[in-house]
Structure 1
Amino acid sequence: MGRRTTSKYYDALAPVVPYYTYQAVSSLARREDADRMGLVRLFVGQVPYHLEPAHVAWMLELVSGCRVPLVEKIVRWTQNRKPCGCFHVLVRPRDVGAFMLLDQTVLCEAEVMWAARDASEKAVLEEHCRYLHANPGARTPLMPYQLMTVQLARSDYRAPQGLGQGAAAHHW
């Protein structure tokens, strides 16, 4: 399951299925149709940078129970020259609430994600994140150590044209 030097935090939690078992699902939308369809753009952050849009769509569908029509990887680097694990997710207006409920309730690690199902499980994840923040040596390199962020997108970022469909927007 990856590097777990703080297993005491997970005793009360059951992991969500590991990333490597993901199954691609058919896309509901193409980028050029998103505006016409009235899709809402959400920002999803604190996700492992190496994940592709298909992984993110799969994990969000798994924990929200709603379809994800389109995911775009935000290709940027932090000030410390680390890649960002950020995505724009375009969803149907009726599903926005289900995705927003995921904000600050999911922790993505190297091979698995943990999703809090109630306040006590969320408290466990928050405690673990505080531990990781205070103890950099306990972190897995290039992995988030904060809970996943899901918010209405505020930037005007568009995936660069030169990246093509595979890296910036995955249509499967």
Structure 2
Amino acid sequence: MIKHWCVGESDGVSLAEELAITGVSKSAFSSASESATGYKAFLNGVGKAQEKLGIQFTDSNGKMLPMVDVLDNFKSEFSDLQNVEVQDKIKEAFGFDDAKKIIMALIDKSGDLVKAQSDIEYAMANGMAKSDQIAKAMDRGYGFAKIGHSVEYLGLHLWQNIRACY
């Protein structure tokens, strides 16, 4: 699954957004790994799909719009995304069934997607501070042991240097 992360980075998609998309859409797939593969298929088909469907997926710099905006564009273009003909048109435009599955899995979950991305961004920003806090808590009480090990190491090092002189 790790090999799929950051597939959209060059397209302007943040890691937090990718993780949120994969997490929220995984219910449409057998696993999160398959969901990531589906998202990769979506990204690989964006260029030709936006041309075929007449829907904008990228900004003026060619970078991906946020997925919530992409989903809103789909909703604006197609009134009934549950229609099989519409889904076939989407699949044909992207060239991959997995790309269509990503869209269908997320189309009514914009709020979940925004919340998941926000939660991931918060965790990423505050995760290292929490890790430091946990490490310091685990380290408490071992101060004298550390001093003892340092003195032992110093003594051993001195002994080796003195012994080498004789």
TM, length-normalised to structure 2: 0.26
Higher-Rg member (1/2):
2
More contact order relative to length (CA 8 Å, sep ≥ 6): 1
